[in-house]
Structure 1
Amino acid sequence: MSLSAEIRPFSVADFRARVARLGEHGTDEAGDHVIDPSLDRLHDKHLRDAAVLVPVVAREPEATVLLTVRTEHLPSHAGQIAFPGGKIDDDDHSALHAALREAEEEIGLSAAVIEPIGQLEPYVSNSGFRIVPVLSVVAPEFSLTINENEVADAFEVPLSFLMTASNHRRSSKRYKGLNRIFYEMPYGDRYIWGVTAGILRRIYERLYGDEA
């Protein structure tokens, strides 16, 4: 992939250009079962539709990605690092609408500072969700109001770190008697893994992978 010399790698302009070159959907499935072939592909009728916002902040000279830390008392994925997002409700008009609504509810990120620029094919999680990643650019002047019932913290990670393959580690652990395989992307004292790391890996594969 050749880029204009005027566009700095991992800048928001670079990110926009890569997303603009995407087709509407990828041809391959994405999900936990792709990363770990020992997992059974969940039948579509059992999946619940969800959406996450992938908020790429237009910092200069390099963009960042805004992530959240879920509170410890949540019934699922407690304490884990995640994108803003959640289930697509019956009154949501689309995956985009759900992602924007959840971002507002969870961290007070206003739709006024979010520019949606694309979507990836759904990512199927082993927990039973079909998750649409909504790619977006966020104006750097944003402010947050964190919903402490759902989110413990929010922080930014350089896009360059997340989109560098050497920072993507395949790891495994025993769970219910089985050896489960997943991606992890430790960043300082932040431990990014599981579905969030899987979606980030998919973004890398679709936008940056041909440069590996």
Structure 2
Amino acid sequence: MAMAAQKHVESLSIDKSVNLQILNYSFRECQLSASGRQYDKLVVGAAIFRHIPNLTSSKVPCILLLKRAPHEPYFPNIFELPSGKVDLDDPTLKHALVREVKEETGLDITKISAQLSPMIYQTEKTIKSDAGTEAFVVKSAIQLNYVVSVSDGLVKLSVEEHSESRWATEEELDELDITDEAKAIIREAFQWSASQ
């Protein structure tokens, strides 16, 4: 990680109830899946809010959602929180969260305010070996979710991963293609926002 990025991560304001200093390898060893093994995939997600004026001139909380690209092997064309896999070279979960938000949105995290419930799910796909045989692969995943504030600016998508960004109100969630698991986390984020 570049020195400027490392200093940015270290200087972030984090609410004391959020533990993001956890070392990547420690989490993987301590948090096991229902099968008793390490999760195949560890993901971090960010609930990012902006308050946007509506027709009555009051400001309505809107959450940033990204639509997965149609060519994605998992959950194509589904809206999700900005999120991504924790890499083995991410020293802590905080480093992974900062990196993923920057990669997926072009925005810098300025504050980490709260931890939301984790989202546990499975991914499934059929792969072909070099010999031409097919195998069905199921992987376990856990997504750790946080409410964060970000720098001002426009969202800049990584077009390889997402086709659209949207600032959605809570009322709009039922109109969008979102998995039930993700929708529950997003509603939890709106509840947190309303309590502030």
Count matched residues: 146
Q: 1:45 aligns with which of 32, 37, 48?
A: 37
* Cα offset, 1:46, TM superposition: 4.0
Task: State the TM-score, normalized to the length of structure 1.
Answer: 0.58
Aligned partner of 2:185 in structure 1 is 199
1:71–1:148 contact (8 Å) kept in structure 2: yes
Determine the C-alpha separation between the residues in 2 that align with 1:100 and 1:124.
21
**In structure 1, the residue corresponding to 2:157 is in which secondary structure?**
coil
What one-letter code is carried by the residue in structure 2 that aligns with 1:54? A
Task: State the TM-score, normalized to the length of structure 2.
Answer: 0.62
* Cα offset, 1:119, TM superposition: 1.1
Q: Cα 1:102–1:208, aligned 2, differ >3 Å: closer, same or farther?
A: closer
Residue 49 of structure 2 corresponds to residue 56 of structure 1: yes
Q: Cα 1:44–1:157, aligned 2, differ >3 Å: closer, same or farther?
A: farther
State the identity as a percent.
Answer: 18
The C-alpha deviation readout for 1:100-136, integer Å capped at 9, x for no partner, is: 211211221223xx42112124221233211110111
1:117–1:135 contact (8 Å) kept in structure 2: yes
The C-alpha deviation readout for 1:147-201, integer Å capped at 9, x for no partner, is: 111110101012x537xxxxxxxxxxxxxxxxxxxxxx423xx323333213224
1:53–1:136 contact (8 Å) kept in structure 2: yes
Unaligned runs of 5+ in 2: 1-14, 20-32, 54-58, 124-139
* Cα offset, 1:62, TM superposition: 2.2
Q: 1:132 aligns with which of 133, 138, 144?
A: 144
Determine the C-alpha separation between the residues in 1 that align with 2:104 and 2:146.
16
> Could you say which structure has the larger radius of gyration?
2
Determine the C-alpha separation between the residues in 2 that align with 1:86 and 1:204.
21
- The equivalences for 1:97-112 within 5 A come to 97-111=95-109
**In structure 2, the residue corresponding to 1:191 is in which secondary structure?**
coil
What one-letter code is carried by the residue in structure 1 that aligns with 2:182? T
Q: Cα 1:78–1:49, aligned 2, differ >3 Å: closer, same or farther?
A: same
User: RMSD of the TM alignment (CA)?
Assistant: 3.0
What one-letter code is carried by the residue in structure 2 that aligns with 1:192? I
* Cα offset, 1:142, TM superposition: 1.9
Residue 141 of structure 2 corresponds to residue 155 of structure 1: no
Q: Cα 1:150–1:46, aligned 2, differ >3 Å: closer, same or farther?
A: same
Q: Cα 1:43–1:161, aligned 2, differ >3 Å: closer, same or farther?
A: same
2:104–2:157 contact (8 Å) kept in structure 1: yes
Aligned partner of 1:117 in structure 2 is 113
**In structure 1, the residue corresponding to 2:37 is in which secondary structure?**
helix
2:47–2:186 contact (8 Å) kept in structure 1: no
Deviation >4 Å, runs of 4+: 22-25
1:53–1:100 contact (8 Å) kept in structure 2: no
Determine the C-alpha separation between the residues in 2 that align with 1:24 and 1:101.
18
Determine the C-alpha separation between the residues in 1 that align with 2:190 and 2:36.
25
1:120–1:132 contact (8 Å) kept in structure 2: yes
